[in-house]
Amino acid sequence: MTDTAQAIRAVDDAITSRRSIRAFLPTPVPRETIADILRVAARAPSGTNTQPWKVHVLTGAARERLSAAIKAAFDDPAERAQHSEEYAYYPTQWQPPYIDRRRKVGWDLYGLLGIGKTDEARMHEQHGRNYQFFDAPVGLIFTIDRVMQQGSWLDYGMFLQNIMVAARARGLDTCPQAAFTQFHRIIEAQLGLGPDEMVVCGMSLGLADPEKVENSLVTEREPVEGFARFHE
């Protein structure tokens, strides 16, 4: 295999092996490894080199404190109702094919876990695992200055993808999580965020637990001809 072919394969493997992992081993990730991943990811492009990303890395007691605070609010219906997202991640009115894809991945996951369509208690429990970072040893919270506009959020997405690909190159796994945005006020208090700092999302980072059935989920992707048009 040529050097070029090896490079293509390495990059493609890092991208295509990325999956949203929902059960992690407790194995610690060295701080220098986390820093290496973030340093590589920061090579993401951004308009006029604005680099709008800010990262809060949580391990140990700090991760446990944040998880406990959010989980307490999530498990209390009255308290949970007091928290809402600052920005709309999903459409306010769903339509095909997006609603079909959303339903399929949800029921595929619940099917693996043996959660029935009317089992609200277990659905709540599974969703709540988001706030424990799915037991990953590293939790990441991403923020952005409120002054930044929509273009900077595009830049941010490229940065997040770089983190996930760089993690795979090092044998690690991730799960990007919009679920944290509902509890941004708790995150702001726990992490001491300023009034101009807005929560973008969270992410779990660590080694996937190969024994957990939920990690066998592989989501489908539309073929190229389904989303691309070639103009000549």
Return the structure tokens found at 114.
Answer: 């043996």
Region 93-109: mean pLDDT is 97
Q: Nearest CA to 161 among 40, 63, 22, 50?
A: 40
pLDDT for 1 equals 80
H or E segment at 199? Answer: strand 197-206
Query: Is 173 within the bounds of a domain?
Result: yes
Region 209-221: mean pLDDT is 97
Per-residue model confidence as pLDDT tens digits over 28-53: 999 999 999 999 999 999 999 999 99
Please list, in sequence order, all residues whose beta carbon lies within 8 angstroms of the beta carbon of residue 11, skipping any fewer than 6 positions away: 165
Query: Is 192 within the bounds of a domain?
Result: yes
CATH code of the domain containing 146: 3.40.109.10
Rounded-to-integer distance, Cα 186 and Cα 196, Å: 15
Query: Is 104 within the bounds of a domain?
Result: no
pLDDT for 128 equals 98
Range of the domain at 135: 21-77+130-217
Query: Is 212 within the bounds of a domain?
Result: yes
Query: Is 82 within the bounds of a domain?
Result: no
Rounded-to-integer distance, Cα 133 and Cα 160, Å: 16
CB 206 within 8 A of CB 138: yes
Query: Is 139 within the bounds of a domain?
Result: yes
The pTM for the full model equals 0.97
Per-residue model confidence as pLDDT tens digits over 157-204: 999 999 999 999 999 999 999 999 999 999 999 999 999 999 999 999
Query: Is 195 within the bounds of a domain?
Result: yes
Number of domain units in the chain:
1
Query: Is 122 within the bounds of a domain?
Result: no
115, HSE (Cβ side, Cα atoms, 13 Å): 18
pLDDT for 166 equals 98
